Amino acid sequence: MEASAIDKVQLEGEGHEFLVFRLGAEEYGIDILSVQEIRGYEGVTRIANAPSFIKGVTNLRGVIVPIVDLRLKFALGNADYTAQTVVIVLNIGHRVVGVVVDGVSDVLALTGEQIKPAPEFGSTLSTHYLMGLGSLDDRMLILVDIEKLMSSEEMALIDKAA
């Protein structure tokens, strides 16, 4: 079902391709190259004493993969889990991580001009993890450096020593 949502692939122009997903009413974009696959949310085993946005681990064809709910992390949208809940499986620096989002909408190519620098703002999502804001017609995409975000200490996905 997710595949049909991404049928509108736009490839014109140079620049990056982004996978666009929704968290609440906001649209986010991440580098398509860090996306391994998109699947439904199922069979997650809770991990005790982990932060609430870490839903647990799941079995992805024999690989144990942690699942992070970005809706909880950024306090956006309703964190309910239905058959429609989408997990984007990311492959970041030899690690595989799944993130739960409200929905995947597009794969978009953005040129350099379409990416504007992100202004300084609050602390929920530090500008540190932003690549910029993408503007496409009247839509605004929040472009996240997902690799940096997922490796950050606040995501608590990686041992500090590692």
Partner 1 sequence: MSIDITEFYQTFFEEAEELLSDMEQQLLQIDPSDPDGEQLNAIFRAAHSIKGGAGTFGFTVLQETTHLFENLLDKARHRELTLDPTIIDIFLETKDMLSDQLNAYRQQTEPDSAAYERICNTLKALAEEKGHGSGAVSESSAQTSASGAAESSAMIIRIAGVAADNATSLAEEMALFGTVLEQQHANDVLTVRLETATGEEDIRAVLCFVVDDDQITFELVAAASADNGVETSVDEWPAEVEEWPAEEEMVQKAPEAEKVTPVEPVSVAAPAEPARAAAPAAKKAERAAASSENASLRVSIEKIDQIINLVGELVITQSMLEQGTSDFDPVIHGNLLSGMNQLQRNARDLQEAVMSIRMMPMDVVFNRFPRLVRDLAGKLGKQVEFETVGKSTELDKGLIERIVDPLTHLVRNSLDHGIETPDRRLAAGKPAAGKLTLSASHQGGNILIEISDDGAGLNRDRILSKARENGLAVSDAMSDDDVWQLIFAPGFSTAEHVTDLSGRGVGMDVVKRNIAQMGGHVEILSRTGQGTTTRIVLPLTLAILDGMSVRVGGEVYILPLGAIKESMQVRPEDISTVTGNDRVLHVRGEYLPLVELYRVFDIPDAKQDVTKGIVMIVQSEGRSFALQVDQLIGQHQVVVKNLETNYRRVPGISAATILGDGSVALILDIPALSRAPQDREGSHAGHHRSAAALH
| Cβ–Cβ under 8 Å, residues 125 and 73 | no
State the minimum distance, in angstroms, from the CB of residue 37 to partner 1: 14
Torsion angle defined by CA atoms of residues 72, 76, 79 and 80, in that order, rounded to the nearest 10 degrees: -170
Cross-strand partners of 56: 67
Among 14, 62, 113, 124, which residue interacts with partner 1 (rule: CB under 8 A)? 62
> Does residue 48 belong to the site contacting partner 1 (CB under 8 A)?
yes
Q: Which is nearer to partner 1, 11 or 48 (CB)?
A: 48
Binding mask 87-106 for partner 1 (x = CB under 8 A): --------xxx---------
Torsion angle defined by CA atoms of residues 141, 138, 71 and 37, in that order, rounded to the nearest 10 degrees: -60
Q: Which is nearer to partner 1, 11 or 161 (CB)?
A: 161
